[in-house]
Structure 1
């Protein structure tokens, strides 16, 4: 275990999309921020919705952790720069970045999709992660290294999605992660990607998830257990911490085994 720090004590992490819309359960960003704080990190809760991020900060501080809120739109370079500066101004360093912001994007195939909505979807789901890394990497280099975790999706690993934008953008996140891992290894910055499966979050709930649809999603995996933002957040905390020090450029499905099988369990009997 020489050289491995199990926790993140006194490290500084930025989580984008750290708020969680009102609803049942918890979003991936809020769960990640809380679990990073429980591991000892000081957390910048960044979100375009200040009230949502502020609630995450309140929850962290209620448990004795340290956090601050940074309102910003991560598709805007100036906001990304300001979010990073909020971390370094408060705590003098940056050790981890969690690129969590993402949207479902516009519906439709290549024939049907609205071109302006397509461009905006790529901007939110892909370019924002590049922009945050653009400003975070120099700060991490100054701190002696760090970890970046990009949130993708199992939709970026498999076909079959009804719309073109979402799996295309999430597939881009997967290979962007691999490229970043090579680019920044010399600076002792590890870059990994988490691909969540069909977790149940307030965003999913707000999208009109019926009980029947929710049950069908639960059954589309090996474990047949519904996942939540806490499952994704636990993987984030691991990849930001010292126990993953020998991992970079990896793509980690957190999906109850959905991507491990060609057929559902009941179809194999």
Structure 2
């Protein structure tokens, strides 16, 4: 590693992961941040999953701590930020990786339940707004910081679920707002748009739908990716996050970076 994040302090919200055969975006990003020299607070609603990520980091010689946070509870978010600054005295990087879809009851607009729509929006969008709100209260007096928000290909292309696609589209606009209203303070905000990825959230939740096996799910998803007909991995997202968090991206703010193997450009192909 090149130590691009040496002595930086980072919070990865959603740094645990759902069970599965592959690694998730949040865990991979937390681990790569640590490998690049950052001190990492791993936040997740599942404290045991966050602690698993911390163990993976510390076993490699990195420094990390776990905290439980429910992003729909503003008091949890305030406590998370306070725990970070109490421990390390600052906050340089906020990485927002939380998102739900199928497990939250997402559906086409004609079938969506109002409570499911409200819950998915609260997790996917409102939670990011609130983490940004409280992180900015630390970053502004510091005179700088980097915020990275995970959106989705569903924000720019067809997706069957109205709540997931709408909330993730909101993440893109919210990121632009955070970027332009905090540029004078030296704070950068960017989004990553993951495409069709081989992560537990994306794959495991689809196994069994319509009788599909894991092999069926992997094969059908990979076939839709233009680049080598292979899904991306969480490490692809993590490498993009390290770039955006580092000084290599010091003049980049308000951007939305696709990490999708070319999927998004098929719209006009």
TM-score (norm 2): 0.92
Q: What does residue 156 of structure 2 align with? A: 157
Rounded to whole Å, the distance in 1 between the matches of 2:50 and 2:96 is 15
Of 258, 264, 268, 1:259 maps to: 264
1:263 is displaced (CA, Å) by 7.6
1:82 is displaced (CA, Å) by 0.7
Q: What does residue 223 of structure 2 align with? A: 219
1:55/1:163 CA distance change after superposition, 3 Å: same
Q: What does residue 75 of structure 1 align with? A: 72
| Deviations 1:17-58 (CA, angstroms, capped at 9, x unpaired) | 100222211110000100001111000000010000001001
Q: What does residue 138 of structure 1 align with? A: 137
1:162 is displaced (CA, Å) by 1.5
In structure 1, runs of 5+ residues without a counterpart are 265-269
Greater helix percent: which structure? 2
Q: What does residue 57 of structure 2 align with? A: 60
SS at match of 1:22: coil
1:107 is displaced (CA, Å) by 2.9
Rounded to whole Å, the distance in 2 between the matches of 1:230 and 1:68 is 21
Does the 8 Å CA contact 2:106/2:116 hold for their aligned counterparts?
A: no
2:84 pairs with 1:87: yes
Q: What does residue 177 of structure 1 align with? A: 175
Rounded to whole Å, the distance in 2 between the matches of 1:262 and 1:82 is 42
| Deviations 1:230-267 (CA, angstroms, capped at 9, x unpaired) | 11111111111110111100011100111122488xxx
In structure 2, runs of 5+ residues without a counterpart are 208-212
Rounded to whole Å, the distance in 2 between the matches of 1:75 and 1:184 is 24
SS at match of 2:21: coil
Q: Which moved more, 1:15-24 or 1:52-61?
A: 15-24
1:194 is displaced (CA, Å) by 0.3
Does the 8 Å CA contact 1:48/1:72 hold for their aligned counterparts?
A: yes
SS at match of 1:88: helix
SS at match of 2:67: strand
Does the 8 Å CA contact 2:3/2:37 hold for their aligned counterparts?
A: no
Does the 8 Å CA contact 1:93/1:142 hold for their aligned counterparts?
A: no
TM-score (norm 1): 0.92
Q: What does residue 22 of structure 2 align with? A: 25
Rounded to whole Å, the distance in 2 between the matches of 1:20 and 1:107 is 20
Rounded to whole Å, the distance in 2 between the matches of 1:96 and 1:146 is 6
2:125 pairs with 1:121: no
Rounded to whole Å, the distance in 1 between the matches of 2:70 and 2:125 is 14
Tell me which stretches of 4 or more aligned residues in structure 1 moved more than 4 Å. none
Does the 8 Å CA contact 1:11/1:41 hold for their aligned counterparts?
A: yes
